[in-house]
Structure 1
Amino acid sequence: MSRDDAERLYPGFPGSNANEHLRTIPACAALGMAQRASLGGPIVTSLDAKLPAVRDAAGRVSRGAALVLADQATASGVFASLSQPTPMMTLDLRVDWFGPLPDGTLDCAIDDVVREGDLALARGRLLADGVPVGAALARYLIGSMPGGGGHRIEDRREILPPSDVATFALYLDAISSPDGLMMRPRSEHVGAPLPAYHGGVIAALLEHAAVLAIDTSFRPIDIEVRFLAPARAEHPLIARVIPRRTGRRAATIDVEAHQGDPAKPVAIARMLAISDAAGDVQAFELPRP
């Protein structure tokens, strides 16, 4: 067995090839995701830096695209801890930003996975040329899939192409509506084969709605998303902003997503933004006891 034979090293990866499996998930294929793993090294998932669909208007990797990456990468970490492919669903996702995202490549390396029964927690870092630009933390429920049913995640076979849109905002395809920011369904938004929206795409819509609601002098430094119910990808998803507090240096914004009934949200999020300018990232290795 090769040190780089990820499928034999980690039999919990769905399918016979981890990269091919990613390209059968519409939202992952659209953003050109790829995965690599080796014995003694981390599970690393990447975006295709050459794709305009992963970028914002300034040409940097979009925070929304980074959220899709963080959601999928942490799931891959959990798959790597399993003895066979098993369905699971995201319970919550938190990402902390350490400054601007890069105009080059972006990786998400998973540092560890902790499991307790059917609960799993995965932690990782978003890296630009090895420099941390964010941290990801997600919890999953193993053995469940959005919407239930007998879908087998390893049965998807069709290899899908990357998105041809010009920016990540166009990939989301969200417009203002009387109820909030509405994301119109696209086949490229699908994650689970229900079909359901990819958890990272839901997180990206919530983040996008929150950013539009704050002054441009503020920058997001974290977002935490809790997934309450499956969001069916045949219907629009509406994000409704609930401002909590805006001060001179910090603002807290809540966002809810629903599919027609505001009293039945499918996901909720809280974002913290600050007015301080971004500084240099410093990483410190602390002594271990």
Structure 2
Amino acid sequence: MSRHDPEKLYPGFPGTEPSEHIRTIPACAALGMRQRATIGEPVSTSLDAALPAACDAEGRVSRGAALVLADQATAGGVFTTLMRPTPMMTLDLRVDWFGPLPASPISCTIDEVTREGDLALARGRIVSEGKSVGAAVARYLIGSMPGGTPGRMDGRDEILPPSPAASFADYLSADATADGMTMQPRPEHVGAPLPAYHGGVIAGLLEQAGVAAIDPAFRPLDIEIRFLAPALATLPLVARVVPRRTGRRAITLDIDAHQGDPNRPVAIARMLAITDPAGDPVRYDLPRG
């Protein structure tokens, strides 16, 4: 497929075919991501659910891997609103879970992008076999690389292989600490060519640290991450968990990440977990005025 075909890519989408750009991003290639971005069709990003690096110990798609997916998928939605490929950086990401993730393929389809100058808000659904298993919303700053500096789309063109990791936890390579986790950098954690950790990888670490800190009787309901500064993918990333409220049915945690100075976090997150059993989600479409 090329931009000269009748079914062509959106002009702001990088590459000459939908998955070309995403397969040059180490963190995305590691999880076997693919994209669809043909004008007139849904914009959707998927990961390889058969790849061990994308799964948890039970063989289900890992919530951490789904966070990497949500971050990249919402960025893909923003690309469709641009006149030419332009860099951007994630300001915040929120994902709500509708029960446990499946062992079957999942994708994130973008429903809406709202632009306000160089700010963009993208909303999407995380879907498996036609059923919604989560919802994602993310805000981006267009025209800036991590750190807030002006940038351009880099010239990476090497198609990278998937990760050989035995699980998503093995892919993160994070060790437990007294109050959280520490992740050692790997080339396949990179998103921006600074080199910086992919925003979804940071989110995955914060999510994993939060889940490890709560009673297994609780299930994560949502997580919201705000990215404060670039996290260099040449240094370890330290996640620290601070419980905020622990009740019989709900737990709220704050989690932050830093690279040496706890007083200068690169990202902060809040997670809500509940004991209520997972149900079968039902979507209600309300009238629009």
Distance in 2 of aligned mates of 1:148 and 1:14 = 21
Q: What is the correspondence of 1:167-246 to structure 2 with a 5 Å cutoff?
A: 167-178=167-178, 180-246=180-246
Mapped contact 2:257–2:268 kept (Cα < 8 A): yes
Secondary structure, aligned partner of 1:279: coil
In structure 2, the partner of 1:61 is: 61
Distance in 1 of aligned mates of 2:40 and 2:17 = 19
Q: What is the correspondence of 1:69-148 to structure 2 with a 5 Å cutoff?
A: 69-147=69-147
Instruction: For residues 70-115 of structure 1, give each alpha carbon's deviation from its aligned partner in whole angstroms, at most 9, with x where no partner exists.
Output: 0000000001110001111000000000111111100000001101
Mapped contact 2:180–2:210 kept (Cα < 8 A): no
Instruction: For residues 247-288 of structure 1, give each alpha carbon's deviation from its aligned partner in whole angstroms, at most 9, with x where no partner exists.
Output: 010100000100000000000000000001101111112223
Distance in 2 of aligned mates of 1:216 and 1:77 = 35
TM-score normalised by structure 1 residue count: 0.96
**Distance change (3 Å), C-alpha of 1:285 and 1:151:** closer
Distance in 2 of aligned mates of 1:94 and 1:2 = 36
The answer to whether the aligner puts 1:5 opposite 2:26 as a matched pair is no
For structure 1, list consecutive stretches of 5 or more residues without a partner in the other structure. Answer: none
1:18: how far off? 2.9
Distance in 1 of aligned mates of 2:90 and 2:46 = 19
Mapped contact 1:14–1:154 kept (Cα < 8 A): no
**Distance change (3 Å), C-alpha of 1:11 and 1:215:** same
Mapped contact 2:99–2:133 kept (Cα < 8 A): yes
* Ranges of 4+ aligned residues in structure 1 off by more than 3 Å: 1-4, 147-152, 177-180
Mapped contact 2:225–2:268 kept (Cα < 8 A): yes
1:148: how far off? 5.4
Equivalent position amino acid for 2:267 in 1: A
The answer to whether the aligner puts 1:18 opposite 2:18 as a matched pair is yes
In structure 1, the partner of 2:270 is: 270
Secondary structure, aligned partner of 1:244: strand
Identity %: 69
Distance in 2 of aligned mates of 1:18 and 1:277 = 38
**Distance change (3 Å), C-alpha of 1:150 and 1:91:** closer
For structure 2, list consecutive stretches of 5 or more residues without a partner in the other structure. Answer: none
Secondary structure, aligned partner of 1:280: coil
In structure 2, the partner of 1:166 is: 166
Mapped contact 2:182–2:237 kept (Cα < 8 A): yes
Mapped contact 1:3–1:38 kept (Cα < 8 A): no
Mapped contact 1:147–1:194 kept (Cα < 8 A): no
Range that drifts further, 182-191 or 40-49: 40-49
1:242: how far off? 0.5
1:17: how far off? 2.7
Mapped contact 1:24–1:156 kept (Cα < 8 A): yes
Mapped contact 2:144–2:150 kept (Cα < 8 A): no
1:50: how far off? 1.6
Mapped contact 2:87–2:145 kept (Cα < 8 A): yes
Equivalent position amino acid for 1:74 in 2: T
Mapped contact 1:191–1:199 kept (Cα < 8 A): yes
Instruction: For residues 44-74 of structure 1, give each alpha carbon's deviation from its aligned partner in whole angstroms, at most 9, with x where no partner exists.
Output: 0000122111000111000000000000000
Equivalent position amino acid for 1:121 in 2: L
Secondary structure, aligned partner of 1:136: strand
**Distance change (3 Å), C-alpha of 1:274 and 1:155:** same
Distance in 1 of aligned mates of 2:20 and 2:122 = 22
Distance in 2 of aligned mates of 1:154 and 1:265 = 27
Distance in 2 of aligned mates of 1:248 and 1:179 = 22
Q: CA RMSD in A?
A: 1.4
1:211: how far off? 0.4
